[in-house]
Structure 1
């Protein structure tokens, strides 16, 4: 049998809500047993055996809104189903993946669930049977609901082999993985004690513990105490898990399942079958019993069951070995969790191997001498047992009441190797690396709740760098509509950011729900923004930027005879000389753009200001990198050969205001038209000085620019003539390109030699080019690509991009990797799903444990007696009656009268009331924008019920088929509009 990795775990057991709480309970030897909750049944009715047991808290809590389940359907669902959905979400998160990432994949779901108490409680009155109760009481739906919600298309099955159900489910999941049926599998089980009926059966069989507690292998053992529980593990083939850098709790080496056959009664255990299933599992695992350090036994605490199991264990494990085989049973802590018993033992064992310590077995203080454990080579764990270095093996047993036995063999995880392997929680990385910590949720309230949970979890960790935590959050805590993203370097900074956002009424920057992806345009800066050491801080901290700057450097090196990268990073003053400044700026622009696109930030359009057009053309696909590098190097060399004496001056005035002065100084031209009152003049220095003095007298600002030549003027004619002779390989841009040569979007004009020759002596038409870009693509964000801010300032002054957010990943000499990270964070909050790995060093791309998602606990469903809280709803579609099972939830806050949907529209009002009736929603929840499937959880059966309710409330509609309604079933409002149109058409 191939190796299967356990990469994710979630569970809730009596006294232990969550994996860490479960481990704490086991290590401290705690017990989760207690009195029966009042909502289950009256304990005084059955005091002998049904007045206590292992019960989980809040078994009726379910975040139906999160899982898009209508309240009426949630109330009809078996509590087993409701517990499994959040457990599956948290287990997938624990595996280091956002649950939504697996949507549409052949992920398998294998759930052990025993009995059908919910169906007996809710469907015994045949007059009140409904489709919702039918689906809600089906055992198969326990797995199918998970597959449906997460959109998994792999095997999906519920397993009922009584008490061995969940371990058999794990066995089947492993087999499915090994045959290639699925690449990821969720496996486990669930059990909720809904009534005292099975406890009475145990009592009549003489198997019930009087105090409701299991006491495995103890002299005090007197039978079974029942318990609740839900647990799921995420399984993958070991090679796949290691390749993806997932944490591995333990490795499933092999498992086996068999049957007692015709033994001494259908519910009596069979020693020989138990021996055979153990031997088969070890054979499939490729090991021998003497290598097994401990066995998590079935261990129910019944006299006969314990005796037979110990005899079987001794027969298999009582071989020559250095130390006895340790045994224990988690049922002493929890009670017998029946359909979840196997997964309770498996999770305990996986955690023990992960932590390299095996918890003591509760109630082991008075070992039953009749079991003769020592003679059989067994040792009951009375205190925790530390596991030695190297590989340790363990076994897990689970035996069904009907004779289906299962045994699994687990091993410690292999030692991690390579840069992307997991490391221990709290391990430190190099301090100071920047990252983006992300949290997402389904509502603003849920976002605040989860921000607070993450803050407290991070505050409990050792202080240190936060990059690995950020990377983990990017993999796990994304995918839901309301988003938070904060750029941080260490844990303290992260805790402060999380707490501030959690306490903010608008949840800081994460309150708005992005309804689409951001529309981004890149603006490439031209000459004049260069400085020694530009982008050095970003180069130190961004592996992606280092890689792409090296690409540009390699492309330029053959033309320059030197490394432009070394020139930039060394702080060499030669960066101001045109022959180096222009290639350096091109390299920076290219590397910044490629860094952003590698992060998944793809521009909808590009614009380059003068020299910036070369990097813009490469980004748009009009020039290849090598061709652009050749042209830029040639351009810079030509300009360096021009005689000095020219210059440029920025003036806060438009061309009209400057016309008179330019007429007096014919050698001076408008070199750049950046905005309505934003012009750059170019020409001889003495002429520019005269114009500046005149402008000063008029109160107009004029600022000389630090350049050595009169760019974009007739003085560059010699350089333009040389460029015009070059053969240029170009292609039509693959992205929209706003040409500052033409002052509009480039159409069919080639970016050939003539284009680049004209471009250096003609004016830069920035203002109209930016206006055309904004009009053409309606950007939500402008990102400046260059070593410091220039074009964003121009855009702000010109007013061409009102309402657009400005971003800059490298805005000056103090910039580091933080500004790049903040750019990514801002876009993620607005709907971008980046390729996060490009933001981090390989050493930081490791999985850290994060607090699980915190679901809403306000909604409570399920009452054992299914009280009649309201009248039954007649359903003409099915000719049955829809049972009203109570949904206990806080009373909704009434909406202001002016905001109530439908008050002034009788058709909309009828739709709202029908939707509320069918789904069980309060009227305040049914807003015009609510979508039937995504927000209200309507399915085909509920749509049919809605059709009949609407027709009854709106007789003038007449009969409308579901097929006619389907196009209008986008939202409550769209359905009301459709029905209103039908009424008008039929009234005409």
Structure 2
């Protein structure tokens, strides 16, 4: 059998809500048993067998909005299903993956359940039977609901082999992984004690413990105490888990399932079958029993069951060995979780191997002498047992009441060698972006608070690995928060502030689409010694892409432009070096952003910036652009000095008279309606500057050595015009500052680049064309200083557009780059986060699981035909959690404010639809707003749509009968359905 890695765990057991709470309960030797909760049944009705047991706190709580389940359907669902859905979400998060990433994949779901008590309780009254109850009481739906809500397409099945159900589910999941049916599998089980009926059966069989507690292998053992429990593990093939760098709790080395056959009774255990299933599991794993350090036994605490199991364990493990095999049973802590018993034992064992310590067994101090443990090579642990270095092995047994037995062999996780890039210690002050998402603003605040509390408990230190882990796990839900930090103290403060003052958290708003980004590449004049040096130190991606540009430029420049830039060389101000240096920085910044997932919808380059823009757009290759840029710089550097440039806060018409008096001056750039650059001889520019300053017009001399974009550059343009240029049509729309419009069919050939040297830069009209063409939400400046964003702001060409700069000045660092990503993520971008971090920071760190809402309760004894009583959440309704990107229809509605259902009083058709939706879904009336979407927000399925159709037709007789095919296109939202029905009435009334 191949090895299977356990990479994620979630569970809830009596007295232990969550994995850490479960481990704490085991290590302190705690017990989760107690009296029957009032909402189950009255304990006084059956005091002999049902006064105590193990019960999960708040087992009736279910965040139905998160899973887009209507209140009426949630009330009809088997409580096992309601427990399993959030458990699956948290287990997948614990595996280091955002659950939404697995949507559409062949992920398998294998769930152990036992009995079918909910169906017996709800389906016996035939007058109350509904389709929702039919689906809600099906055992198979325990797995199918997970597959449906998470959009998994792999095997999905429920297993009922009584008490061994969940361990059999794990065995089947491992087999499915090994045969290639799925690459990831969720496996486990759930059990809720809904009625005293099975307890009465145990009593009549003489198996019920009077105090409701299991006492496995104890002299006081007197029967079974029933309990709740839910647990799921995420399984992957070991080689896949290692390749993806996932944390591995333990490795499933082998498992086996068999049956007692015709033995001494259908519900009696069989020693020989138990021995055989252990031996079979060890053979499949290629392991001899003497290597097994401990066994998590079935151990129910019945006299006969314990005796038979110990005899079987002794026969297998009682081989000559230096140390007796330790045995125990978690049922002493929890009670018998029945269908979830196997997964309770498996999770305990996986955690013991992970922590390398086996918890002590309850009741070990009163060992049953009749079990003869010592002579059988077995022992109970009176104190925790530390596991030695190296591989340790442990077995897990689970036996079904009907004779189906399962055994699994687990091993400690293998030591993994460090990747080549992770061998050096990463910087502790490295920057990262910590992300949190929620399905509603309230959920986002809840989860911000939970993350803040967890981070605050950590020792202060670097936060990059935590940030990387959050990017992998805490993304995908519609309401987003992202903050750039360097250490855990800063992170805890930021999370706490955002949770306490949500209006300050940009992530509190839901993005209704992805950002539309344009890159603006700066030209000469923004260079400075040491530009982007700190960013180069802190960003692996930027280092890599600056190296690419340096390698392309070096054959033509004859030196390393990277060393020139990073060394703070003053030669960077000379044209022959400034232009290649700026090109290298622009190219590296743009490639860094695209590598991180920021894909421009259009590009624009200002003068020299057009070369990097052309490469980014695909119009020039990197090598071709490098050759041209070096030649351009050389040609300009060879020109005689004496020219200059000034930026004037005035329009070209306002300067026409002055230019006429100074014939050597020309307009070099039209950056905005009142933003003009003049170029020409220095003395002429000085006179113009003096005149304008006297009039109160702002003038600024630009730090250049030549009169760029003027006839003085004609010799350089003529030389460049003779170059052979390999170019292609841009693959990304390009706004040409040479033509002042979007580039259409004109090639960026030698003539283009020659004209570009001496003709004016038409920035204002080019930017206007870009904004009109793609309607950007964000403009990102690409260069070592902020220049073009200021021009865009002054010109007013991009109202409402957010400006970003990943390297805004001399102190630009990895934080500025990260801030750019964080801002775009808050607005809907899902970056390729990996490239933001050094390999040494790509280490999985545990994060608290998602905190679901506790506002809705669905009592186990509630009449299933009625919707539950619960507080009505404010409109608008919660969106579907697994759908982070809205449809075009969603985006069309995004600008409209949520409509109150009270407005339906003025629209009888809308009122009828609202009432029908309220009745079918069981929602509070305030919840059914015009913008509520049937599938994503209200959780309607095909059955409910049919019920809605019938109710709408009954309320609106003038509609007549409408076919489902006619209805489907209108089922976007409550409002679109009302509009459609209104049109039908008008047509049929005409």
Shift of 1:418: 2.4
CA distance in 1, matches of 2:119, 2:420: 48
**In 1, Cα distance between equivalents of 2:232 and 2:806:** 42
In structure 2, the residue matched to 1:680 is 677
User: 2:949 aligned with 1:968, yes or no?
Assistant: no
Q: TM-score, normalised by structure 1?
A: 0.97
Q: Is the 8 A contact 1:189 1:231 kept in 2?
A: yes
Is 1:887 the counterpart of 2:864 in the alignment?
A: no
Which residue number in structure 2 is paired with residue 946 of structure 1? 948
Q: Is the 8 A contact 2:422 2:839 kept in 1?
A: no
- Counterpart of 1:764 in structure 2 is 761
1:483-524 Cα distance to aligned partner (Å, 9 max, x none): 000000000010011001101142611111111100000000
Paired residues of 2:319 and 2:377 also in contact (CA < 8 A): yes
Contact persistence 2:395–2:408 (CA under 8 A) = yes
| 1:400 and 2:400 are equivalent in the alignment | yes
Is there any run of 5+ residues in structure 1 with no aligned partner, and where? 868-882
**CA shift in 2, pair 1:299/1:443, >3 Å:** same
Q: 1:420 to 1:154 in 2, by over 3 A?
A: farther
Aligned-pair distance for 1:885? 3.6
Paired residue for 2:419? 419
Q: Verify the 8 A CA contact 1:349 1:396 in the aligned structure 2.
A: yes
Scaled by the length of structure 2, the TM-score of the pair is 0.97
The equivalent residue for 2:573 is 576
Query: Cα distance 1:618–1:897, how it changes in 2: closer, same or farther (>3 A)?
Result: closer
SS in structure 2 of the partner of residue 933 of structure 1: coil
Secondary structure of residue in 1 paired with 2:407:
strand
- The separation in 1 between residues aligned to 2:708 and 2:872, in whole angstroms, is 71
Say which is worse superposed, 498-507 or 883-892, in terms of deviation. 883-892
Structure 2 partner of 1:603: 600
Question: What is the rounded CA distance, in whole Å, between the counterparts of 1:455 and 1:137 in structure 2?
Answer: 39
Q: 1:416 offset after TM fit, Å?
A: 1.8
SS of the residue 1:190 aligns to:
strand
Deviation at 1:475, TM superposition (A): 0.4
Deviations 1:555-608 (A, max 9, x none): 000001100000000000000000000000000000000000001100000000
Cα distance in 2 for partners of 1:705, 1:772 equals 26
Deviation digits for residues 63-118 of structure 1 (CA, Å, limit 9, x no counterpart):
00000000000000000000000000000000000000001111000000000110
SS of equivalent residue, structure 1 residue 115:
coil
Match of 2:893 in 1: none
Aligned counterpart in structure 1 of residue 905 of structure 2, from 897, 903, 906: 903
Cα distance in 2, alignment partners of residues 953 and 618 from structure 1: 62
Matches within 5 A, 1:313-352: 313-352=313-352
Q: Residue 356 of structure 1 aligns with which residue?
A: 356
1:491-510 to 2 correspondences below 5 Å:
491-506=488-503, 508-510=505-507
The answer to whether the aligner puts 1:650 opposite 2:647 as a matched pair is yes
Deviation at 1:904, TM superposition (A): 1.2
Corresponding residue for 1:872? none
Structure 1 Cα separation of the partners of residues 202 and 181 of structure 2: 39
Q: 1:562 aligns with which of 559, 564, 569?
A: 559
Is the counterpart of residue 921 in structure 1 residue 902 in structure 2? no
Partner residue, 2:838: 841
Looking at structure 1, the residues matched to 10 and 459 of structure 2 have their Cα atoms a distance apart, in angstroms, of: 23
- Aligned pair partner of 1:980 in 979, 982, 989: 982
Give the drift of 1:982.
Answer: 0.3
- Determine if contact 1:326/1:379 at 8 Å carries over to the other structure: yes
- The Cα of 1:898 is off from its aligned counterpart by 7.1
Q: Is 1:931 aligned to 2:928, yes or no?
A: no
- Residue 892 of structure 1 deviates from its aligned partner by 5.4
Task: Return the alpha-carbon distance in structure 1 between the equivalents of residues 799 and 40 of structure 2.
Answer: 61
Give yes or no for contact 1:951–1:958 (8 Å, CA) kept in 2: yes
Residues 718-749 of structure 1: CA distance to partner in whole angstroms, max 9, x if unpaired? 00000000010000000110000000111111
Q: 1:148 to 1:899 in 2, by over 3 A?
A: closer
Task: Work out the CA distance in 2 between the residues paired with 1:891 and 1:603.
Answer: 43
Structure 2 CA distance for partners of 1:81 and 1:579, relative to 1, 3 Å: same
| Cα offset, 1:420, TM superposition | 9.0
Q: Does 1:543 pair with 2:540?
A: yes
Shift of 1:894: 9.8
Deviation digits for residues 854-880 of structure 1 (CA, Å, limit 9, x no counterpart): 00000001332x34xxxxxxxxxxxxx
Structure 2 counterparts to residues 782-793 of structure 1, below 5 A: 782-793=779-790
> 1:129-140 residue pairs with structure 2 within 5 A?
129-140=129-140
Deviation at 1:901, TM superposition (A): 3.9
Q: CA deviation at 1:421?
A: 11
**Gap change, CA 1:258 and 1:166, over 3 Å in 2:** same
Distance change (3 Å), C-alpha of 1:888 and 1:58: farther
| Residues 760-782 of structure 1, C-alpha deviations (whole Å, 9 max, x = no match) | 00000000000000000000000
What is the CA-CA distance between 1:159 and the residue it aligns to?
A: 0.2
CA RMSD of aligned residues (A): 1.4
Q: What CA distance in whole angstroms lies between the structure 1 residues aligned with 2:911 and 2:117?
A: 39
Superposition deviation, residue 815 in structure 1:
1.0
Query: Does structure 2 retain, via aligned residues, the 8 Å contact 1:901–1:927?
Result: no
Deviations 1:633-663 (A, max 9, x none): 0000001100000000111100010000000
| Corresponding residue of 1:106 | 106
Unpaired runs of at least 5, structure 2: 877-897
Q: Partner of 2:371 in structure 1?
A: 371
Give the match's secondary structure for 1:9.
strand
1:435 has 2:432 as partner? yes
Separation (CA, whole Å) in 2 of partners of 1:421 and 1:133 = 55
In the alignment, which residue of structure 1 is the partner of 2:82? 82
Q: Distance in 1 between matches of 2:775 and 2:75?
A: 46
Three-state SS of the structure 2 residue aligned to 1:595 is helix
SS at match of 1:29: coil
Secondary structure of the residue aligned to 1:438 is strand
Q: Is the 8 A contact 1:621 1:731 kept in 2?
A: yes
Tell me the CA shift for residue 888 of structure 1: 3.4
Instruction: Classify the secondary structure of the residue corresponding to 1:521.
Output: strand
Give 1:4 deviation, angstroms.
0.2
8 Å contact from structure 1 (residues 60, 861) kept in 2: yes
Secondary structure at 1:861's aligned position in 2? coil
1:267-306 mapped onto 2 (5 Å cutoff): 267-306=267-306
In 2, the alpha carbon distance for the partners of 1:349 and 1:463 equals 32
Give the 3 Å change call, closer, same or farther, for CA 469–240 of structure 1 in structure 2: same
Deviation for aligned residue 1:419 = 2.9
Q: Distance in 1 between matches of 2:364 and 2:337?
A: 19
SS state of the match for residue 711, structure 1? coil
C-alpha distance in structure 1 between counterparts of 2:777 and 2:725, whole Å: 34
Q: Report the counterpart of residue 172 of structure 1 in structure 2.
A: 172
CA apart distance, 1:791: 0.1
What displacement does 1:300 show? Answer: 0.2
Deviations 1:651-686 (A, max 9, x none): 110001000000000100010000011111100000
Q: State how 1:190-201 maps to structure 2 within 5 Å.
A: 190-201=190-201
Deviation of 1:376 after TM superposition, in Å, equals 0.3
Could you tell me which residue of structure 2 aligns to residue 514 of structure 1? 511
Q: Deviations over 1:441-471 (max 9, x none)?
A: 1000000000000000111122210000000
Query: For the Cα contact (< 8 Å) 2:899–2:930, is it kept in 1?
Result: no
In structure 1, the residue matched to 2:698 is: 701
Alpha-carbon distance in structure 2 between the residues aligned to 1:103 and 1:666? 68
Match of 2:52 in 1: 52
Q: In structure 1, what is the Cα distance between the partners aligned to 2:636 and 2:16? A: 74
- The 8 Å contact of residues 428 and 464 in structure 1, kept in 2 or not, is answered as no
Counterpart secondary structure, 1:92: helix
Counterparts of 1:809-824 in structure 2, within 5 Å, are 809-824=806-821
Aligned twin of 1:958 = 960
2:726 is equivalent to residue 745 of structure 1: no
1:211 and 2:208 matched: no
Report SS of the residue matched to 2:104.
Answer: coil
| Contact 2:110 2:158 (8 Å CA) reproduced | yes
Q: Distance in 2 between matches of 1:979 and 1:208?
A: 60
Contact 2:875–2:927 (Cα < 8 Å) also in 1: no
